[in-house]
A and B are shown apart, each in its own frame.
Chain A
């Protein structure tokens, strides 16, 4: 309808030599319409994505003192400071730990739930709804409620108490704090990946399983040899979404632990927020966001390259 014409040939290759050819050919009109249609999105991208990206790069070369109103060019000083930052190692470790924990738990649980709820059993609709419902709950509200549950005298330890277990102080222990934040986030978003997996599972042709059954393949073998290859495009999609999302985690950390105890849950985005908005080092904050950008970009490119190896339809 308004797609850009991509035909190649004399008819579409621009104005043919000859007199009295109107400027507004139907092709040009179509192109104009197409550009006008994408204009709102383009404008949004430019104003809210591309321009800020360029500005962040620019800020990262400056020392910006908000209070004093000074904005001085410092060249690569912020990048030198980055290399010497004693906290960066711990921050990257926490970020990596969170991402790995989240991706493994989230995708594993989502796939398990999807396979279970893909069975023709009574009540699966109810469970699907139950597992999906946290996705539509406000993130901050969800996190605040979990914050109460995870308190030392909160609901979870109360429950553990009834079965005679003395629960740890979840958000205060160096190890348990990270686990708590990951689990809270997994429960929040596992429903979304579950639904994506469910859709993919339902697209797997039933006759493949019947044929495998006839050949005597076990359920496990069917899963690894039929299900996984056929849903691999979805696995790729969900893993990219989850990895990128995990690197951007902020609200949960801000509400539950504020990066503590110590710096055990200070992930990159939270550290960036501290540097820029709490310590007023906007230039250094911008530098950290360039690091984040580079990491996300590298991981996404890597995953995209790897798809040829293990995504079924791509080979």
Chain B
């Protein structure tokens, strides 16, 4: 298991899709107003200064439209990944009912940059239970098709990251 680059562009450039993106789609807020663009790139050269690492399994260019809870912690207030608050959020993910897909986000190998939690239903109500929203306010977004797939729930009880990979990606 590895990781991909991932970015949220609140004000995307007009015209073409992000260069070399593995997957991308525009987003709307719960009231249907345009709310930017989400994109993912294969691991390699960092595509944008704001890009973060995401578990590659959540990205699926053939995935259906989805609701997501996006927690993006600004660098200046980002906790360590090993902060007990982050650990407790991962425990709650493992203990609770599963989401369609979930990944933490990493800005580097040390800091927690946020999380993406995915549901494929028609309503975003379940995303109110996103455990990572306790660390920093979440954006609830409707994402067009072609970005997020379904992933079996993380296998516990492991909550440690493996090297610089975003949890729940496993393997050294």
Q: Do A and B bind each other?
A: no
Contact residues of B with A, CB < 8 Å?
Answer: none
Which of A's residues lie within 8 Å of B, judged by CB?
none
